[in-house]
Amino acid sequence: MLAVLNRCQDALDATRRLDFLGPLLLRLYLVPVFWMAGTQKLKDIDATAAWFGNPDWGLGLPFPELLAWAAALSEAGGAILLLFGLAVRWVSIPLMVTMLVAICAVHWPYGWQVIADPAAPFANERVLAAAEKLQRARALLREHGNYQWLTGSGQFVVLNNGIEFAATYLAMLLALFFGGAGRWLSLDYWLARRWRQQRTRMDGGA
């Protein structure tokens, strides 16, 4: 029995040869997320700064122009660096900061869920109240609209705007921060490998 378990463990350990796939897929998943977020901010940076700074209908943050540029460039530039696997641990830091700001300043009052689903865990009062509103909206659409056509691209939902997505992206970035860009398919790997080889030659010649 022990021999069988050891062989199973050896087979499991052998899969670590493909450990580069994890960070690669994390990077590729996050690239369009941050590219869209950053480029949308850059398209109208004045509006972005206004939203960052306005206390009535925005976030009410200090230095809104500086923060708007920092967030936009971190996201758009970070997407490019993630794509090529360059300076991934470094760029994960400002991206994690943007996610923390998004969680605390934007999404926190709405709870966990992005889409209101009363049957899901962590449903708060706002989510529970959305169920009746959604049922009523669907009834109106069935009565006065072509409901089959309206739902042809997907079911109607209520956007709750909770922290779910931002927290997920934060966890992914945290994994990249500690684990790096991964082997073989990242510039970080090849640059570090070259530097180590040069250091070895220098130490050998000293």
Q: Tell me the percentage of the chain whose pLDDT exceeds 70.
A: 98
Residue 139: count of CB within 10 angstroms of its CB: 11
Helix (H, G, I), strand (E, B) or coil at 159: strand
User: What ranges do the domains of the chain cover?
Assistant: 23-111+162-206, 118-159
Backbone angles phi, psi at 115, to 5 degrees: -105, 130
Q: Are 73 and 38 in contact (CB under 8 A)?
A: yes
pLDDT per residue over 141-162, tens digit each?
999 999 999 999 999 999 999 9
Tokens linked to 112: 């966990």
Helix (H, G, I), strand (E, B) or coil at 115: strand
Mean pLDDT of the region 129-135: 93
